[in-house]
Structure 1
Amino acid sequence: MPKDIEQLYARRMKRYTTAMRNEKPDMIPIRPFVAEFTAVYAGFNCQQVTHDYNMAFEAAIKCAKDFDWDAVVANMVYVWTGLTEQQGTKYYAVPGIDLDADTGFQYREPPEDEAFMKPDEYDSLCEDPTGFLYNVWLPRVSGDVVAPGEPNTFRNNVAMLKGGIAMLNYFNAFGPQIERLTNECGTVSAIAGILKAPLDILADKLRGYVGLCHDLLERPDKVIAACEALMPHLTHVALSGADPDKNVPIAIWMHRGCVPFISHEHFKSIYWATLKPVIQEINSHGHQV
């Protein structure tokens, strides 16, 4: 790494982490959320950066070089639909396939009566979250994966194989991308790891927002039990991808589990009550959210 780039990176890292720790940096760090802007600036459309992560990586590098940003996410679009398409995932609308090529990818939530988890399945989720997701949820969200007990298909076998290969390819590509941000741009990779609140998992991926709203009123004890069952798994996911040097924070995606999507009371008694212990456990390992 050239000396000037090395010094620039050190200044930016100190500035960014100082601010993230609620201390006073030498100046306010710039850490933009620019998503598809990186594509437009680099001369790509949304389809290209969403369906080819190498283009998304190049867009992030170009912006990091051209703008005086202290930190940026290694792939600002982040969702690689090449991976989700390998398993026939239903809940993404893909630019250039389901949407106009210049429109960012979208989440598609099924109708309430077609939710990926039914209202009477809370106990099954609580008893074995991993088993429920693999055996029940995955076949419902995929157009190719078949449920246990159903006749096997060639597409099922290929989807599982391609999905695993695609995930390894994508996640293993982040190391070299972060090295490029560091060595070519002097820019800090802004996050490491991922965290979502248990209630957001229920709303986003399982019951859907409308279904969850009904559940909060009709079966709140089941909702709390499900959130508690998910807590150790979400903690593990967050820590498994955390920065080993404990510099950059674990990112939290906050979606519809907060006010005004739910009431203040539900936020306090369920959302925050099952998220706070996760954050405290992460903090006990020396990591910041």
Structure 2
Amino acid sequence: MGSANEQLFQQRLKRYVTAMRNGKPDMVPIRPFVAEFTAKYAGMTCQEVSLDYNLAFQAARKCAADFDWDAVVGNMVYVWTGLTEAIGLKYYGVPGIHFEPDMAFQYREPAEDAAFMKADEYDALIDDPTGYMYETWLPRASAAVCGPGQVVTKENNLSFTKGGMAMLAYFNAFGEQARLMREEAAMPGAICGILKAPLDILADKFRGYLGLLDDLRTQPEKVKAACEAIAPHLYNVALGSSDPTGTVPVGFWMHRSCVPFVSFDTFNEIFWPTLKPIILELWKQGRQTLFYAEGNWNHHLDRFAELPAGSIVYHVDQGDIFRVHEVLGKKFCLSGGIPNAMLSYGSPEEVRQRVTEVIEGVAQDGGYILDASAIVQNDASIENMRVMTQTGREIGRYAENSGDYALPEPLTSLGPEFDSGLYNPDWARSRLQPGVCIPWEARKSQLPPIIGDEALVRRIWEEVDAYGNMYIWQVLLSF
């Protein structure tokens, strides 16, 4: 990489990280989460970037090279439908297969009576979430995977071999994508890692939204116990997939656990008590979390304000960003606030005016990242995206800071004495530890007496077993 490109990369990274630490860089950083927009800009269809991740990577790099942004995601069309088709997952509509090639992929929630988890299966989920997903959830969620007692088919076996190899290839490709983004476009990555809230994932992938609402009415104690039981597993995935340096945050995708989708009581008694400890434990390990607040979460800002200063970056979608700034702006960096509908159907002057209002209203003391309100798809106007970028550069400069400032120090662990509450002894607990499919003790009982180095045998067993755990949890959370 040329020295000029590396210098620009470091400048952008410093700008982005300084803002995320709620500081004041030389100018407002720009970090749009561009998804199918990259296909439109690169002259590709949604089908191409959904089914061929190499094309998606190329489109992302083209946008990164052509727009003066400060950080992007290596592929925001994150759900590679080649992988979901290999596994046989039923809940995705794929462009070019299920509908027109230039529509974005769609999540298709099953009907209430066809939910992938039944109302009477909470105890099984609580006891062993990983085992439940392999034995019960995946056979229902996949058209290829056989359930217990069924005749094992070629399609079943291929689902795991193709799915596992495809996932390995895809995840490994992000390393090369990061290198090319840095060398070709001087562009840092925006996030690293994935987190979803326990209550959200119950609605998204297990019970469905309507089924969960029924359960909250008829068996709320089971719902809460399930959230408690899976919280350490979700934390394990988030930490394991995070940036080990703590430079960029874990992406936390917030779905339907805000008012009016759930009641205040559900939020305060189930959602927040089982999410907050995960965020605190990540912070304890020196990881920020990006709260990507899809929809409007303004009813719950006071609860988010309970978190330690700097522990999150709060992204505003349909909420009132000026109200968010009043409540959270002193403690956390904010991002977003430029409506996607305006970027798609508004005039360039409307975009310019909105960007100006937001920067003048919430960015004067730093701690703001310019971005669209939500993930940018292929209905966004290329001209309006340019106007958002240009306006941000023109009015987003901090006169007192020329760029001669240091990159913030890495976040440090808070130490073992900090109690996040994630390991509350009063919580419901799974029988197996996070990261485990088949514990060593169970495997050892199947082996003849070990005459060599048992510690070596155990270490390799546990390391390889963890791959099986990663696979099923990534299927659940990422795909």
Q: SS of the residue aligned with 1:173?
A: helix
Mapping of residues 198-237 of structure 1, within 5 Å: 198-237=198-237
Deviation readout 1:26-50 (Å, 9 max, x if unpaired): 2111010221000000010000000
| 1:177 maps to 2:173 | no
User: Which is higher, the Rg of structure 1 or of structure 2?
Assistant: 2
Deviation readout 1:149-205 (Å, 9 max, x if unpaired): 211111111111111111011001000001111111111110100000001110000
Deviation at 1:264, TM superposition (A): 1.9
Q: Following the alignment from structure 1 to structure 2, what is the Cα–Cα distance between the partners of residues 205 and 232?
A: 18
Q: Following the alignment from structure 1 to structure 2, what is the Cα–Cα distance between the partners of residues 271 and 26?
A: 38
Question: 2:35 corresponds to which residue?
Answer: 35
Mapping of residues 106-145 of structure 1, within 5 Å: 106-145=106-145
Mapping of residues 137-176 of structure 1, within 5 Å: 137-176=137-176
Q: Following the alignment from structure 1 to structure 2, what is the Cα–Cα distance between the partners of residues 34 and 75?
A: 8
Mapping of residues 1-289 of structure 1, within 5 Å: 1-289=1-289
Deviation at 1:272, TM superposition (A): 1.1
Deviation readout 1:232-257 (Å, 9 max, x if unpaired): 11001001111111101000011112
Deviation >2 Å, runs of 4+:
none
Q: Report the AA paired with residue 202 of structure 1.
A: L
RCO comparison, higher one (Cα < 8 Å, 6+): 2
Q: Following the alignment from structure 1 to structure 2, what is the Cα–Cα distance between the partners of residues 22 and 101?
A: 41
Q: SS of the residue aligned with 2:120?
A: helix
Deviation at 1:21, TM superposition (A): 1.6
Q: Following the alignment from structure 2 to structure 1, what is the Cα–Cα distance between the partners of residues 128 and 258?
A: 26
Q: SS of the residue aligned with 1:253?
A: strand
Question: 2:444 corresponds to which residue?
Answer: none
Deviation at 1:278, TM superposition (A): 0.3
Q: Following the alignment from structure 1 to structure 2, what is the Cα–Cα distance between the partners of residues 117 and 23?
A: 45
Q: Following the alignment from structure 2 to structure 1, what is the Cα–Cα distance between the partners of residues 184 and 109?
A: 40
Q: Report the AA paired with residue 139 of structure 2.
A: P
Q: Report the AA paired with residue 129 of structure 1.
A: P
Deviation at 1:259, TM superposition (A): 2.1
Q: Report the AA paired with residue 145 of structure 2.
A: V
Q: Following the alignment from structure 1 to structure 2, what is the Cα–Cα distance between the partners of residues 69 and 260?
A: 35
Please, what is the CA RMSD of the aligned residues?
0.8
Q: Which runs of 5+ in 2 are unaligned?
A: 290-479
Q: Following the alignment from structure 1 to structure 2, what is the Cα–Cα distance between the partners of residues 268 and 8?
A: 44
Q: SS of the residue aligned with 1:199?
A: helix
Deviates more, 1:22-31 or 1:234-243: 22-31
Q: Report the AA paired with residue 43 of structure 2.
A: G
Q: Following the alignment from structure 1 to structure 2, what is the Cα–Cα distance between the partners of residues 27 and 34?
A: 21
Q: Report the AA paired with residue 6 of structure 2.
A: E
Q: Following the alignment from structure 1 to structure 2, what is the Cα–Cα distance between the partners of residues 235 and 47?
A: 33
Q: Following the alignment from structure 1 to structure 2, what is the Cα–Cα distance between the partners of residues 12 and 22?
A: 16
Q: SS of the residue aligned with 2:7?
A: helix
Q: Following the alignment from structure 1 to structure 2, what is the Cα–Cα distance between the partners of residues 23 and 235?
A: 27
Q: TM-score, normalised by structure 2?
A: 0.60
Deviates more, 1:123-132 or 1:148-157: 148-157
Deviates more, 1:185-194 or 1:18-27: 18-27
Q: Following the alignment from structure 2 to structure 1, what is the Cα–Cα distance between the partners of residues 30 and 119?
A: 44
Identical residues among aligned pairs (%): 62
Q: Following the alignment from structure 1 to structure 2, what is the Cα–Cα distance between the partners of residues 24 and 216?
A: 44
Q: Following the alignment from structure 1 to structure 2, what is the Cα–Cα distance between the partners of residues 266 and 15?
A: 38
Q: Following the alignment from structure 1 to structure 2, what is the Cα–Cα distance between the partners of residues 25 and 213?
A: 44
Q: SS of the residue aligned with 1:230?
A: helix
Q: Following the alignment from structure 2 to structure 1, what is the Cα–Cα distance between the partners of residues 267 and 23?
A: 28
Q: Following the alignment from structure 1 to structure 2, what is the Cα–Cα distance between the partners of residues 218 and 173?
A: 45
Q: TM-score, normalised by structure 1?
A: 0.98
Q: Following the alignment from structure 1 to structure 2, what is the Cα–Cα distance between the partners of residues 59 and 73?
A: 12
Q: Following the alignment from structure 2 to structure 1, what is the Cα–Cα distance between the partners of residues 125 and 102?
A: 38
Q: Following the alignment from structure 2 to structure 1, what is the Cα–Cα distance between the partners of residues 214 and 19?
A: 40
Q: Following the alignment from structure 1 to structure 2, what is the Cα–Cα distance between the partners of residues 56 and 169?
A: 15
Q: SS of the residue aligned with 2:180?
A: helix
Q: Following the alignment from structure 2 to structure 1, what is the Cα–Cα distance between the partners of residues 263 and 119?
A: 20
Deviation at 1:260, TM superposition (A): 2.2
